[in-house]
């Protein structure tokens, strides 16, 4: 009986982990967040504009903690990709949860 309960528990955890691993933004939702968050004013996925392309950001920032990148977006930066500073992004435009998902999406580019 205990073995069955343990096996069912392990199966349930495996299913939850698999579902959570597949969760995330699809491209359409990410594009929507890029617009509402103000990111699309300077960035695109694959072309440099006023800011770097997200594929270039993903390549340069590969392996960095998402929390570190969230702080950069929230506080702004300058000199990382050139002379144009990136203004801070407020929670009024994009929530912490949305920003987290968006950064995960960008890092997969």
Model pLDDT, residue 23: 62
pLDDT digits (tens, 9 = 90+) for 22-78: 468 999 999 999 999 999 999 999 999 999 999 999 999 999 999 999 999 999 999
Q: How far apart are CA 78 and CA 3, in angstroms?
A: 57
Instruction: DSSP for 42-63, please give it.
Output: T--SSS-SSS--HHHHHHHHTT
Tokens for 11?
Answer: 């199966």
**Residue 101, number of CB atoms within 10 A of its CB:** 19
pTM of the model: 0.75
Q: Label residue 106 exposed, middle or buried (CB < 10 Å: 0-12, 13-18, 19+).
A: buried
pLDDT of residue 93 exceeding 70, the answer is yes
Class of domain 25-107: mainly alpha
């Amino acid at each position: 009986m205990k073995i069955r309960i343990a096996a069912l528990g392990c199966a349930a955890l495996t299913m939850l982990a698999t579902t959570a691993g597949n969760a995330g933004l699809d491209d359409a939702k990410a594009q929507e967040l890029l617009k509402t968050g103000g990111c699309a004013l300077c960035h695109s996925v694959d072309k440099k504009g006023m800011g770097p392309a997200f594929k270039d950001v993903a390549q340069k920032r590969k392996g960095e903690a998402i929390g570190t990148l969230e702080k950069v977006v929230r506080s702004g930066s300058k000199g990382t990709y050139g002379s144009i500073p990136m203004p801070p992004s407020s929670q009024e435009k994009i929530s912490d949860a949305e920003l987290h998902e968006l950064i995960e999406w960008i890092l997969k580019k």
